[in-house]
Amino acid sequence: MVASIRRRLTERAASLLKEHPEFAEGAAEVGLVDKAWLDDPTGHPIRTATSLDVVQRFLERSIEREPSLIANMGLNAIQLLSIEAESIADGGQAQSLTIVFTDLEGFTRFTSREGDDAARTLLDRHHKTVGPLIRSRGGRIVKKIGDGLLLTFAAPEAGVLAAIEIGEADHGDLRLRAGIHHGEAVLMGNDLVGHDVNVAARVTDSAKGGETLATTDVRSVVGPIPGVTFGRARRRSFKGVAESVSVCPVSRER
């Protein structure tokens, strides 16, 4: 009886949020609710983000939308808030995470051809495009690496869906490639360390432009995802990784 009432209340809450799409989108982007919960309120928890995650995502979202916030609020104040959240949340402990790397194929050639100003404009547009997609799936932008991103997700399914959505976004004349791996890693402030991080990076390097590759570890831990297809797995050897790694393309069902 209690479970039935809770389910109806949950469905009603999600329905009310969906009646106000802008509010729902903003709530999902900063982690107040998970996008997966909005899509299926009885099959997912209302949120997986901690209160510290919410603060960090709110800062990222605010700075993306209003870069002048840095000047108005003060860079030191923003850094202090971010570092404080990270130091409390991370603690240097190994965590089970889904790790995603992305980069833009041909960015170096684009920079050489179009110049630094055009490259900065392209990256700014890229970050503003993918940032909301990442946060709405409960993801964390650990760091920006030139034209690439290092992301983490507590929920493997969210990491897979976010990687697909990022790949489908508009990146101008460039194509994005992504690699996904699931394993353990240690969050150290603005960095992520561990063997599984190296595996995810190598998987990304092996992807073609416009392609998202996942290890079979990811496929095993998420199981079937409605609307998503994992292609044929192939074993690959990567520099700096002793064991061969089985990877497969992942995409939306056609």
198-248 pLDDT per residue, tens: 999 999 999 999 999 999 999 999 989 999 999 999 999 988 888 899 999
Boundaries of every domain in the chain = 91-254
Q: Whole-model pTM?
A: 0.70
- The pLDDT assigned to 102 comes to 95
Mean pLDDT of the residues in the chain: 81
pLDDT grade for 60, boundaries at 50, 70 and 90:
low
208 and 177 Cβ atoms separated by less than 8 Å: yes
pLDDT grade for 159, boundaries at 50, 70 and 90:
very high
pLDDT grade for 88, boundaries at 50, 70 and 90:
very low
| CATH 3.90.25.10 describes domain 91-254 | no
pLDDT average, residue stretch 19-28: 70
